[in-house]
Structure 1
Amino acid sequence: MNKFFIVLAHTYLSKLKSKSFLISTAITLLFIFGFMNFDRIITMFDQDQKESSVVLVLDETGQLFEPLKHTVSQINPTVELKDFGGSYSEAETLVIDQEVEGMIELSLGDTGLPEGKYYAMTVVEQILPWQLEQALQQVKEEIVTSGLNLQPEEVASIYAPIQFERVAIAETAKTEMELNQARIFVYILLFIIYFSVLMFGNMIATEIAIEKSSRVMEILISSSSPVQQMFGKIFGIALLGLTQYVLIFLVGVLSLRQRLSTDSFDQELGELIVGQGLPLHLIGYAFLFFILGYFLYATISAMLGSLVSRIEDVNQMVSPMIFLIVAAFLIAMFGLSNPEAKIVTVTSFIPFFAPMIMFLRVGMLSLPLWEVLLGVAILIVTIVLFAWVGARVYRGGVLMYGKSSSLKDFKRALQLSKREK
């Protein structure tokens, strides 16, 4: 057992100190921090730009400028409209010289309603033209409604959104707020499970292939059993992953708490995220299925990695496992909008898909406890089975050298493991 902890500690510390881990962790933490403060970063870069965008207005009607200016000031106060009395060519010259952002021609169409044409150096910018279009649309609506002798209150009632609430009759069913909150957490945690299994599983297979290609494996075998090496690497990489996610979690939580305390943060989004408190049971299930999914695919990765002797063959060997992970992820993404679909229910009990899909169902639905326990039991039994088979394949696989990129090498690895007993 002492040799197992030596392998575990060596795997964990060597990877923890590696440049790839430090750089990837730093980039991830910066991404989390940047994502949580994206609007502030954009504002910081915009501070050096001009405070307002000037747009010239060529109003052929003589009636649309004032209502348009008033409406635009409500949509975006930084947009300044100027009633330009000169010709089109004079306004165009100002746009070309970049003295103004653009110009807009206002006219009345065949129906007597407002029409507009916006001119700028390029049409890459989408926000400003869209805001001008929305403002002109509101001016048009005011003209139409005033022609119908409607009062402002009546106009507001026409465009007011209807009240439409979805209520679940079943006592155990989740409310709409709970579903939306669960959907956010499930979506985020599905990505975490997906990328973790993909990244750390491949890391285990690559680590074993590197040791075999450098003949370090022969030295390791003489000092500890292959089974101890296999599970030492699996637990070592698991500890490495938990270390990385603890750092990510701390940065994410601290950034979220800081944003929730500011007035600039979208309060509706804040209410949706933490309005009813953090779903601790969902976080517990995420941790459970993350661990079970990791050990399932990590065992398979170690087994497959022991069959290859060259790093170039790792991707080819683990590709069937990657296809399973991708398939599970795609079904889970479909299940976010339809968690009661039959394919979601059936695949949640298939061990290769269960870590993501059973977790999805737990988060989105009120499942009976026996279904969750059955899914967990199937996963545990599968992990134990693969651990037993994987240990035997690993014992023989680490002794195999030469080109090995086919699953037919399983038989040869099992035969070699019997000789080692």
Structure 2
Amino acid sequence: MRSFWAIFKQAFWTKARTKSFIITTLIAVAGFFLMANLQNIISSVQETGVLGGDGEQILYITESEAGLAPLLKEQLMLMDVDFEVQETDRAEADLQADIKDGVIEAYVVLEAGNGISATYVSQSAGLSGMASAVEGAVQNLQTTRTVEELELNAEEAAALFAPAGFEREAISDASRTEQELSEARGLVYILIFLIYFAVIYYSNMIAMEVATEKSSRVMEILISSVSPVKHMFAKIAGIGTLGILQMLIFGAAAYTAIETSSSDLSGGFFSVFGFSNVRISTILFAVLFFLLGYFLYAMLAALLGSIVSRIEDVQQLMLPMMLLIIVASLIAFTGISVPEATFVTVSSYIPFFTPLVMFLRVGMLDIPLWEPLLAVALMLASITVLGWFGARVYRGGVLMYGSSQSLKDIRRAIQLGNKR
């Protein structure tokens, strides 16, 4: 048992001290704080005019028909915009020169015909808060003018533009309300990405670690004092513990970012990808499927890494495993919009797809408890079978040297392991 813990600690600390691990962790933590404060950052940038250009926040209004400019200015003032609005009769060439020189932000040209149209001119054609405000004000001006031309009274105008009531209701017992789906969608997106990232990152780490030890001939020394099977499981457990630690850091950072953010995470971006009122069961299933997904793919990665003698061959043999993860992620991200689809339900019971797809169903639907438990049982059975099979391959694979670029080498590894 002492040799197991020695390899366990070596696998853990060797990777924990690498620059790539530290930098990846810091970038992810910074990303959580950035996302939690995204609305405040955008508001601050818009207030300072960084998104709009280098000029002052001044909008000039010129017109082809007298009387339109004062009306548009009045509409903008009613909207309480954070930029200055001025009417002008200067030539467009002069206004464009001021924009290029950074003197003003933009100008708008109003024209009247069958309706009111406007041309907004600025340094860039990208979206900005000023452009959106002008567009809304022009639309309001057009609506007001149409109402006057049709000689509608206030009640008739209100009735004409009153929004229609529209609600979505599902009769399926597994479906949730639109509000519940919105509350769960953001967390499901993030956790699916984290599970996807973890499975690829840590599984690839195991395969590379094994291949590195073989290419440097360190493996020959290790297996002379510890059995290959014990070596394999110690590697998986050590790097798995490192993965759990990193996920805990991510979780603590995300929680701290949300708690310290002045935003309530409900408006703008968060109105579609909500994070409020998330169920505890969703978090627990995320942890469970992360662990199961890791051990399933880690067994496969260790198996593949053991039959490779050169680090250059790792990615080629890892390709089938990567394709499984990519397909699972495509199904999961597609299923977020249609979690009740048949292809989502069926694929959620396929062990290599379960960590992502069944978690999606748990997060987005009210499914019976037996369904995720059945998926967990299937994964445990798959991990057991793959662990047994992987141990047989690993026992002989670590002794194989030479070019290994085909999955056919698995059979040769098993035969070699049986001779030991």
User: Under a length normalisation based on structure 2, what TM-score does the superposition of the two structures give?
Assistant: 0.91
**1:94 matched to which residue of 2?**
98
Q: Distance in 1 between matches of 2:135 and 2:111?
A: 13
**1:300 matched to which residue of 2?**
300
The alpha-carbon deviation at position 178 of structure 1 amounts to: 1.9
**1:252 matched to which residue of 2?**
254
Assess if the C-alpha contact under 8 Å between 1:65 and 1:83 holds in 2.
Answer: yes
The alpha-carbon deviation at position 34 of structure 1 amounts to: 1.8
**1:266 matched to which residue of 2?**
267
> Which amino acid letter does the alignment assign opposite residue 253 of structure 2?
V
**1:81 matched to which residue of 2?**
85
**1:217 matched to which residue of 2?**
219
**1:373 matched to which residue of 2?**
373
Report the RMSD for the aligned CA atoms in angstroms.
Answer: 2.5
Describe the SS at the equivalent of 2:309.
coil
Q: Distance in 1 between matches of 2:340 and 2:391?
A: 38
Q: Distance in 1 between matches of 2:245 and 2:226?
A: 26
The alpha-carbon deviation at position 162 of structure 1 amounts to: 3.0
| Paired positions, count | 416
Residue 12 in 1 paired to residue 12 in 2?
A: yes
Residue 70 in 1 paired to residue 74 in 2?
A: yes
Q: Distance in 2 between matches of 1:128 and 1:65?
A: 16
1:361-400 residue pairs with structure 2 within 5 A?
Answer: 361-400=361-400
Structure 2 residue runs without a partner (length 5+) = none
Assess if the C-alpha contact under 8 Å between 1:177 and 1:272 holds in 2.
Answer: no
Q: Distance in 1 between matches of 2:293 and 2:126?
A: 45
Q: Distance in 1 between matches of 2:98 and 2:56?
A: 16
Assess if the C-alpha contact under 8 Å between 2:174 and 2:365 holds in 1.
Answer: no
The alpha-carbon deviation at position 353 of structure 1 amounts to: 1.0
Residue 312 in 1 paired to residue 312 in 2?
A: yes
Tell me whether 80-89 or 344-353 shows the greater mean CA deviation. 80-89
The alpha-carbon deviation at position 106 of structure 1 amounts to: 1.6
Gap change, CA 1:329 and 1:80, over 3 Å in 2:
same
Describe the SS at the equivalent of 1:349.
coil
Gap change, CA 1:258 and 1:161, over 3 Å in 2:
farther
Once the two structures are superposed, residues 12-31 of structure 1 have per-residue CA deviations (whole angstroms, 9 ceiling, x without a partner) of 11111222211111111112
The alpha-carbon deviation at position 412 of structure 1 amounts to: 1.0
**2:169 matched to which residue of 1?**
167
Once the two structures are superposed, residues 135-194 of structure 1 have per-residue CA deviations (whole angstroms, 9 ceiling, x without a partner) of 212101110012223344543454443332333446664333222222222221111111
Describe the SS at the equivalent of 1:190.
helix
Describe the SS at the equivalent of 2:223.
helix
**1:58 matched to which residue of 2?**
62
Structure 1 residue runs without a partner (length 5+) = none
Assess if the C-alpha contact under 8 Å between 2:182 and 2:271 holds in 1.
Answer: no
Assess if the C-alpha contact under 8 Å between 1:52 and 1:78 holds in 2.
Answer: no
Residue among 130, 140, 143 paired with 1:141: 143
Assess if the C-alpha contact under 8 Å between 2:208 and 2:305 holds in 1.
Answer: yes
Tell me whether 75-84 or 298-307 shows the greater mean CA deviation. 75-84
Assess if the C-alpha contact under 8 Å between 1:73 and 1:79 holds in 2.
Answer: no
Gap change, CA 1:227 and 1:153, over 3 Å in 2:
farther
Assess if the C-alpha contact under 8 Å between 2:185 and 2:273 holds in 1.
Answer: no
Tell me whether 117-126 or 336-345 shows the greater mean CA deviation. 117-126
> Which amino acid letter does the alignment assign opposite residue 102 of structure 2?
Q
> Which amino acid letter does the alignment assign opposite residue 202 of structure 1?
N
Gap change, CA 1:366 and 1:94, over 3 Å in 2:
closer
Q: Distance in 2 between matches of 1:336 and 1:263?
A: 24
Q: Distance in 1 between matches of 2:215 and 2:65?
A: 80
Assess if the C-alpha contact under 8 Å between 2:324 and 2:353 holds in 1.
Answer: yes
The alpha-carbon deviation at position 264 of structure 1 amounts to: 9.2
Gap change, CA 1:265 and 1:289, over 3 Å in 2:
closer
**1:342 matched to which residue of 2?**
342
> Which amino acid letter does the alignment assign opposite residue 358 of structure 1?
M
The alpha-carbon deviation at position 32 of structure 1 amounts to: 1.6
Assess if the C-alpha contact under 8 Å between 2:55 and 2:103 holds in 1.
Answer: no
Assess if the C-alpha contact under 8 Å between 1:209 and 1:311 holds in 2.
Answer: yes
Tell me whether 334-343 or 398-407 shows the greater mean CA deviation. 334-343
The alpha-carbon deviation at position 416 of structure 1 amounts to: 1.1
Gap change, CA 1:87 and 1:258, over 3 Å in 2:
same
**2:202 matched to which residue of 1?**
200
Q: Distance in 2 between matches of 1:340 and 1:245?
A: 29
Gap change, CA 1:123 and 1:268, over 3 Å in 2:
closer
Gap change, CA 1:396 and 1:263, over 3 Å in 2:
closer
> Which amino acid letter does the alignment assign opposite residue 105 of structure 2?
E
Q: Distance in 2 between matches of 1:92 and 1:408?
A: 69
Assess if the C-alpha contact under 8 Å between 1:51 and 1:78 holds in 2.
Answer: no
Assess if the C-alpha contact under 8 Å between 1:302 and 1:394 holds in 2.
Answer: yes
The alpha-carbon deviation at position 78 of structure 1 amounts to: 2.2
> Which amino acid letter does the alignment assign opposite residue 104 of structure 1?
V
Q: Distance in 2 between matches of 1:56 and 1:311?
A: 63
